[in-house]
Structure formats: C-alpha cells, structure tokens
Amino acid sequence: MATSLGSNTYNRQNWEDSDFPILCQTCLGENPYIRMTKEKFGKECKICARPFTVFRWCPGVRMRFKKTEVCQTCSKMKNVCQTCLLDLEYGLPIQVRDTGLSVKDEVPRSDVNKEYYTQNMEREIANSDGTRPVGLLGKAPSSSDMLLKLARTTPYYKRNRPHICSFWVKGECKRGEECPYRHEKPTDPDDPLADQNIKDRYYGINDPVANKLLTRASSMPRLDLPEDKSITTLYIGGLGEDVTDSELRNHFYQFGEIRTITIVQRQQCAFIQFATRQAAETAAEKSFNKLIINGRRLNVKWGRSQAARGKEKDGVTESGIRLDPVPGLPGALPPPPVSDEDASNNYFNLAPTSSHAVMNLGLPPPPGVAMPPPPGFGPPMFHTMDPMAPPMPPPMAMRPPGQVHYPSQDPQRMGAHASRHGGP
C-alpha cells in the first residue's frame, strides 16, 4: 500500500534528508571538480536500518564509483566517514581509535534499544555546535601518542581502485583494456584482510584491519622511564655536522629549564640535562620518534646513571643482561697478593708445583769449587768401549790457568788439527 508524503506510518519524520555527505579526503578523491548524484531516501542505513539520502560519485580516473553506506546520524555518533567508516581525524578504524583513547562505547544491537539510543544521540547532536564529537567520544582526551604514530596524514587514493575482474581470473574476460575492473591476481583467500564486515568495522569488534594495526602498535619501539629518579639527562643521537647548540636549545627549552647541553662532535651526539625530572619526562615524551631538526630525524633516549655504567663495565647491562665476552681479547689480570707471604715471583701465571726450585744463575761459585759445565759440554755419563775413540778432555778445573776452552779449538777433537793447518 502506497503512503502519502504527509503520512507518519513508517516514522517518516526521522528519515534523513541532507544536501552533502560526510566524507574523508580519500573517499572524496583528488579531483576538486566532482559530480555527484543524489537520491533522496534511496537506501536504508546498514547500521540503524533507517532510509537516508544516498550520494554516488567517481573519485577519479580509473577509479570505481563509490556511495554512502550509513546515514549521517550514525556517522556523527562515531565521527567516521559515511563510506569507508574510518575516523575522520586520524584515518584509523574505530577499534584502533577507541583503544588509543581508552573509550568503550557500547552501542545497542537490538532494534528497540537501538532506536531509543539513536533518538537520544540525535537530540545531543542537535544541541551541540558540530565542532566536536558527541557521546563518550566527545569526553575522551584530545589525542593519544599511539594514534599520532599510526595516523595517516595523507590521502590513500589506492583504496579507490576498481575491484578485481572475476572473469579475468577465470580466463574469460574479453574486454581487454576497456574492462573497468582490475586484471590482477587476487590475494590469498586465507588472508584475514580479505574478510571484512561493515558492522564489525562500525562496532569495533573483530576488525582484521584494526587487529593488524594494533599488532603493529604493540611492536613499535617505546621509551620507558628509568627507575633512577635522579636521571634528568637525555641522549640525542644522529646529529650530523649541521645541528648546533642553539637549535637544540630552541627546541627543548619549551619543556623546562635546561641546565647544560653537551655536544660530542666526534660521536655526533649530544647530552641535554634538565633542571627537573618532570621537564625531562615531558621532553622525552614529546620528542621520542618525532624530533626532526634540519631535515634529520634524531634519536632520543634516556641518559644512564653512574651505577649503570659501572655494571656495564663488569659485563652486566642496566637491565640485568650479561654480555658475552668478545673473543680474542686478553683476560683479566690476577688480583694482587693479600700479604707479603703470599707474594711470589710467578710473573707468568704458572701453575704452582710441590717443590720450588731455587735458581741462582747470577752468583759465581765459591773459591776452590768447580763450576759444573753447561749442558751438552760435560763428560758423557757412559764411557764408550771403543779403543779407537779419542781420549776424554780433562775437566775444566785441571786445565792450566788463563787458558780459555772452546770446544771447536780442542786439539783432541776430530778435525781440529787439520782445520788449524788449513787442510780441507
């Protein structure tokens, strides 16, 4: 049965009639001159199921046509785009934004509760100035460090590309270059990003894109506060040769009083000491992974205390991790002796023996005592029985005084007489 325009049979006074959609820059496209088609009460909202005005447009050349999917009331309640349902401020899914702002907005799912909740939100939207979100989102903190790191600052027009041609995948597409769809190999069907639901995106549950971004955020480096409250120094690395003392001071003076700035030009780093710990914490929070001076991204870390440096010298870092010794380096020297009795002349770290040999090589023998010959020059321990062998030389003590004995000049040795007379 047809209804007249003045009839309230289907609560028509709450149907939405708007002149322009709520869109993000990516969905709107890069063309500043765009044409849209407007269809009043063309479809029902995919969230609240109420009829709304549908807009349809092409965001650019070789792009697919896009249209609004939810009504403006649902869009304003979550501060999202009517087409892609991403946050208008950060360009992130609702689940990521609510996690970063610690907001848990429970939207009713049943038809009756949903209608009552929507009417209350419409009344709040009508009483607001339209510059800030409504509901719990409007009471949340203005920004979050995680959201600033994950936020997309430029439009991502690649998201507007046409879908993949299913006929080309089966090898049956006959349009060639005139086909408005993409001729590319589809992604893996087991990829979680291939299964996305608009209601999961809106309610912020089981969103595969949000799960991927949250996993990336958990693995991002972060700057933990040191336990030692006396540390008020920040380490600034990667300065290069262009960054000066005045440029560092111009950036960090806004966080608090600076006590000293020390630049180590050889290592291209600097140490900035603040007067208070609160100023150092604020500077570290505002500058970590965000500090860019003269086009160079600088590395910001906390300085170390003297106790931590001593531990690191002993092979243990500040976090308690023992470092492996570097191969090829000499070992540590032995500790000094405790007393004079323990002192010894063991300069080469030899193993101790049961009997200590006393060596007096520098002292001459007493008068009348023959000095033993050096090894190899004394008489043999065993006499040979050969009768043709030359007689043994007399001992050193029985030789005439003043005569110096050299083994090569002994006339009794074989060959000495011949060599003296110039023989062969």
Q: Which residue has the higher pLDDT, 195 or 234?
A: 234
| Among 87, 77, 127, 134, CA closest to 107 | 77
Q: What one-character-per-residue DSSP string does 219-274 give?
A: TS---PPPS-TT--EEEEE--TTT--HHHHHHHHGGGS-EEEEEEETTTTEEEEEE
Q: Which residue has the higher pLDDT, 337 or 222?
A: 222
* Poorest-pLDDT segment among 10-24, 213-227, 276-290: 10-24
Q: Which residue has the higher pLDDT, 334 or 32?
A: 32
How far apart are the C-alpha atoms of 57 and 29, rounded to whole Å?
10
Q: Which residue has the higher pLDDT, 391 or 160?
A: 160
Rounded average pLDDT over 380-393: 58
Given a cut of 70, whether residue 28 has pLDDT beyond it is yes
Given a cut of 70, whether residue 5 has pLDDT beyond it is no
How far apart are the C-alpha atoms of 252 and 287, rounded to whole Å?
9
Rounded average pLDDT over 203-211: 88
* Poorest-pLDDT segment among 90-99, 311-320, 326-335: 311-320
* Poorest-pLDDT segment among 79-83, 142-146, 351-355: 351-355
Instruction: Region of 402 please: left (phi>0), alpha (psi -120 to 50) or beta.
Output: left
What integer pLDDT is reported at residue 272 of this predicted model? Answer: 92
What integer pLDDT is reported at residue 324 of this predicted model? Answer: 65
* 96 and 89 Cβ atoms separated by less than 8 Å: no
Rounded average pLDDT over 216-233: 84
Residue 405: band (very low, low, confident or very high) from pLDDT cuts 50, 70, 90 = low
- Mark out the alpha helices in 105-144 (DSSP H runs): 111-127, 136-139
Domains and CATH numbers, the chain: 12-220 (no CATH), 233-303 (3.30.70.330)
Residue 144: band (very low, low, confident or very high) from pLDDT cuts 50, 70, 90 = confident
What integer pLDDT is reported at residue 53 of this predicted model? Answer: 93
Q: Which residue has the higher pLDDT, 422 or 353?
A: 353
Tell me what percent of the residues of the chain surpass a pLDDT of 90. Answer: 27
What integer pLDDT is reported at residue 419 of this predicted model? Answer: 46
Rounded average pLDDT over 123-150: 76
Q: Environment class of residue 54 by beta-carbon count within 10 Å: exposed (0-12), middle (13-18) or buried (19+)? A: buried
Tens digit of each residue's pLDDT (9 = 90 or more) over 96-105: 998 888 888 7
Rounded average pLDDT over 261-275: 90
Q: What is the mean pLDDT of the chain?
A: 77
How far apart are the C-alpha atoms of 16 and 71, rounded to whole Å?
7
Q: Which helix (H) or strand (E) holds 216?
A: helix 208-218
What integer pLDDT is reported at residue 120 of this predicted model? Answer: 84
- The secondary structure of residue 315, as a DSSP letter, is T
How far apart are the C-alpha atoms of 219 and 11, rounded to whole Å?
49
Q: Which residue has the higher pLDDT, 18 or 390?
A: 18
How far apart are the C-alpha atoms of 149 and 285, rounded to whole Å?
12
What integer pLDDT is reported at residue 279 of this predicted model? Answer: 92
Using CA atoms of 44, 50, 51, 55 in order, give the dihedral in degrees to the nearest 10: -60
How far apart are the C-alpha atoms of 306 and 304, rounded to whole Å?
7
Tens digit of each residue's pLDDT (9 = 90 or more) over 41-76: 889 999 888 899 999 999 998 899 999 999 998 999
